[in-house]
Amino acid sequence: MRITVFGATGGTGWRVVGQALEAGHEVTAVVRDPAALERHDLRGPRLTVVKADVMDPAAIRPAVAGHDAVVSAIGPRGRGPTTVCADATASIIEAMEAEEVRRLVVVSASGFVREGDGPLTRLVKPVLNRLLRHAFADMRRMEELVRASGLDWTIVRPPQLTEGPRTGSYRSAIDRNVRGGVRVSRADLADCVLRCLDERGPLHSALAIGN
């Protein structure tokens, strides 16, 4: 499979790139700073690194053209007002539609979703939503854009992310949170993203994961 990865230098993105290469896929990593990806020792004939501005649909179209799927692991940084997820996703969708590439997997968050939560999580959620209200508002808008697109999309919603190992033993739930699944490793999140591509689904759904 030929996969384009946006946010490839982030904590989740570079793991998606690495695991995809290990699985034998061809990967195009779209980055602002190629040196940031080199620090993770990712290289090889099946990896193409493209320096481009994700906010410019025309600039990223060549990185999307001819690919089987696109992954966006772009996330907000800090707690201030932001539209980076929504703006980047709008640009990616425009580029995909122009190049007739249909499969899209985006990383969001489970923090602003309450369906499936247990009693303890429900107590914590209001505080979390106040602290991360700007980031969550951006992700909600991103999800709206994805749902409104005509693409074959999957939204992956992780809880708190850790630096733990890849286990492949996380739990998942469709269109609701994983009860008691309050954290998951970035490596397992990357594993889940690639499973969604390999298994072609769940399509037109949000998939929450957690340990």
Question: Looking at the predicted structure, is the pLDDT value of residue 120 above 80?
Answer: no
Domain definitions of the chain by residue range: 2-210
Q: Encode pLDDT of 54-65 as tens digits.
A: 999 999 999 999
User: In sequence order, what are the residues at sequence separation of 6 or more whose Cβ sits closer than 8 angstroms to the Cβ of residue 161?
Assistant: 11, 12, 183, 184, 185, 186, 189
CATH tag for 2-210 (out of 3.40.50.720, 3.30.420.40, 3.20.20.105, 1.10.520.20): 3.40.50.720
Please give the full DSSP string across 89-126, using - where no structure is assigned.
HHHHHHHHHHHT--EEEEE--STT--TT--HHHHHHHH
Q: Encode pLDDT of 85-114 as tens digits.
A: 999 999 999 999 999 999 999 999 999 998
By residue count, the chain amounts to: 211
Give the pTM.
Answer: 0.95
Query: For the chain, what percent of residues have pLDDT higher than 70?
Result: 100
Mean pLDDT along residues 196-202: 95
Average pLDDT, the chain: 95
pLDDT at 147: 98
**3 state SS for 142-175:** HHHHHHHCCCEEEEEECCEEECCCCCCCCEEEEC
Q: How does DSSP classify residue 177?
A: P
> Whole-angstrom Cα distance, residue 152 to residue 73?
17
Query: For the chain, what percent of residues have pLDDT higher than 90?
Result: 86
**pLDDT-based confidence at residue 129 (cuts at 50, 70, 90):** confident
Q: How does DSSP classify residue 31?
A: E
Question: Looking at the predicted structure, is the pLDDT value of residue 123 above 80?
Answer: no
Question: Looking at the predicted structure, is the pLDDT value of residue 76 above 80?
Answer: yes
> Whole-angstrom Cα distance, residue 48 to residue 68?
15
